[in-house]
Amino acid sequence: MLRLERVSKIYPTGEVLRDITWEVKPGDRIGLVGVNGAGKSTQMRIIAGLEEPTSGQVVKQGDPRIVYLQQEFDVDVRRTVRDELFQAFGEAALVLNRKHAVEHDMASEKAASDPDHLEELIHELGRLQERFEALHGYELDARIDKLLPTIGFTPEGAELLVGDYSGGWQMRIALGKILLQEPDLLLLDEPTNHLDVETIQWLENYLCSQSVPLVVISHDRAFLDRVCNQIVETERGVSRCYLGNYSQHLEQKALEREASQAAFERQQKELATQQAYIDRFRASATRSTQAKSREKLLDKVERIEAPIESVGGPRFQFPPAPRSGRLIAEIKDLSHSYNDKILFLEANLEVERGDRIAFVGPNGAGKSTLLRLVMGTETPDEGRASLGEHNVIAGYFEQNQAEALDLSKTVIDTLFEAVPDWTQTQVRSLLGSFCFSNDAVFKEVGKLSGGEKARLALALMLLQPCNLLVLDEPTNHLDIPAKQMLEDALMEYEGAALVVSHDRYFVSRVANKIVELRDGELVLYRGDYAYYQEKKAEEAAEVEARRQASEAEAKRKANREKQKAKEARHKQLHMGLGMRTHCSGPGGTVCIG
């Protein structure tokens, strides 16, 4: 269907892609992975035709319809869901939009007071109606009706404004617009950003049910495992292809690295042996000719390069956690509302030393609010949410933490202020693990992107000694190696941690307890994420069993009522027959019931 052949891309700031070769075939669901700055989005834009490669080419079979859902998807919050979906239909959408505008103008005061203007609008509406029908507009509307339940909308919900829906539902609308275009190839750039787990799981199931080939960029490893059947990794400008999902690609990569290391070591040993022979007998009267012959052969040997370790930051360790009391934080009879929505109703939770608790629940359930209440930056309506009283020192990373940075300082100076006794090598190594390398460390904070500021704020916060880490979406804007570094550090951390994250892989590695925000309560699961999933599956099975039992009981009750009604009819019939009398008359026998 489509193939990239030895594609390179060079910007004024340097080379991003050097030797990219891979292909998309029918049935492929390809995960495009690599560190931030590796050129993943550049490859997407080249495939979509938004950029030209510096060298190499994109070979296409026929003229495939390629549709690209970028990180910042485009929806108009002022339109209804149905009208926004209709925008996928090009000219038909333009005609529909103009129809709506004309209809609006016809209801205006100007049209009411100016018959000529109204007449013009009526004629224009007629022409638009004819064009709409010629473009099979009503058939296109039927396609939207067919799509709506697929992306989770009811016909009534489609008449609401896009702005009435959350970001996750708006992503569904954006995806629906793409699917209505009937693409031959679907490109998705970070589609899971800012989605809650429920919506991510819906997206996984939806994509797995589609036959359209797709290429997806994501740092969500659980998503890549669930959706992808092939991984293309870009490292130092070069691509490598692996069959299978993300975890399988890691296994293959580890085996490749072991084989490459073994081959490199074998060759180095052989080269050293030959070189020792050459050095020993180079000046020998009897063996110099043989030594020179070996030297010529040695010069012709194709050297195996030493395996390059995967791009990634160095290991990072938190400063030692100061000793605290057993109780790190306490939530007692907490009730709290936000915009008339009850988030917590007499909720309770104790956080003890050594707990690494992940809070889970849909967007809007109150996870970030709960962290603010615990940290005292927000006051509860009733009850209490507070830190423990015995030497609890908290480090708090908010989603808007970057707003507190000094915009006039450089990246490296910002970090040096926090750890003045570190060497430049130590500081640059840590910054490198948070995707700041080369000249990027000398950029002014005010010139960083939102994601870069968030990464710097996280790196800065993690340097402060504390015994409680409160982390609100810490993995946003981090690539996979940086996430792994943070996971490893958290698993070795001796203090407690409260974490909000939609990254299931991250949560599964760092959390030893799960708290679900459900119906105003804090439901504690005393185990890791796998334990939580098992318990949720058991709960769902129990609910389903109760539902089936209830349906069976309702059916039995209906059958009993039906039987009673049947028996009652029979009884009435028999009573009626018993009441019949016979009279004889001149005309014979007459039966009266």
Task: List the one residue out of 468, 328, 321, 323 whose CA is nearest residue 385.
Answer: 328
Q: What is the reported pLDDT for 578? A: 61
User: Rounded to an integer, what distance in angstroms lies between the CA atom of residue 264 and that of residue 251?
Assistant: 20
Contact present, 185 and 213 (Cβ < 8 Å): yes
Task: List the one residue out of 202, 461, 458, 468 whose CA is nearest residue 323.
Answer: 468
Q: What is the reported pLDDT for 318? A: 87
Q: What is the reported pLDDT for 586? A: 54
Residue 288 predicted with pLDDT over 90: no
95-118: per-residue pLDDT in tens?
888 888 888 888 888 877 888 888
Q: Which residues pair with 4 in a beta bridge?
A: 22, 58
Task: List the one residue out of 351, 88, 30, 76 whose CA is nearest residue 213.
Answer: 30
Q: What is the reported pLDDT for 585? A: 53
Task: Choose between 307 and 456: higher pLDDT.
Answer: 456
Average pLDDT, the chain: 87
User: Rounded to an integer, what distance in angstroms lies between the CA atom of residue 205 and that of residue 228?
Assistant: 12
**Which residue has tokens 């899971």?**
192
Q: Is the dihedral of CA 217, 221, 225, 226 positive or negative?
A: negative
Q: Domain locations in the chain?
A: 80-167, 254-300
Query: Rg for the chain (alpha carbons), in Å?
Result: 34
Query: Which tokens belong to 265?
Result: 């070591």
Residue 168 predicted with pLDDT over 80: no
Q: What is the reported pLDDT for 338? A: 85
Of 65-69, 246-250, 263-267, 569-573, where does mean pLDDT reach its minimum?
A: 569-573
* Stretch 158-164: mean pLDDT: 92
Q: Which residues pair with 31 in a beta bridge?
A: 216, 231
Residue 467 predicted with pLDDT over 90: yes
Residue 575 predicted with pLDDT over 80: no
- Residue type for position 89: F
pTM here is: 0.75
User: Rounded to an integer, what distance in angstroms lies between the CA atom of residue 271 and that of residue 255?
Assistant: 24
Of 285-289, 319-323, 450-454, where does mean pLDDT reach its minimum?
A: 450-454
Residue 592 predicted with pLDDT over 80: no
User: Rounded to an integer, what distance in angstroms lies between the CA atom of residue 390 and that of residue 411?
Assistant: 35
Q: What is the reported pLDDT for 310? A: 47
Chain centroid to Cα 243, Å, comes to: 22
Q: What is the reported pLDDT for 313? A: 45
User: Rounded to an integer, what distance in angstroms lies between the CA atom of residue 218 and that of residue 36?
Assistant: 11
- Host H or E run for residue 349: strand 341-352
User: Rounded to an integer, what distance in angstroms lies between the CA atom of residue 135 and that of residue 107?
Assistant: 26
Task: List the one residue out of 75, 5, 89 whose CA is nearest residue 47.
Answer: 5
Q: What is the reported pLDDT for 580? A: 55
Q: What is the reported pLDDT for 525? A: 96
- Residue type for position 161: L
User: Rounded to an integer, what distance in angstroms lies between the CA atom of residue 134 and that of residue 242?
Assistant: 48
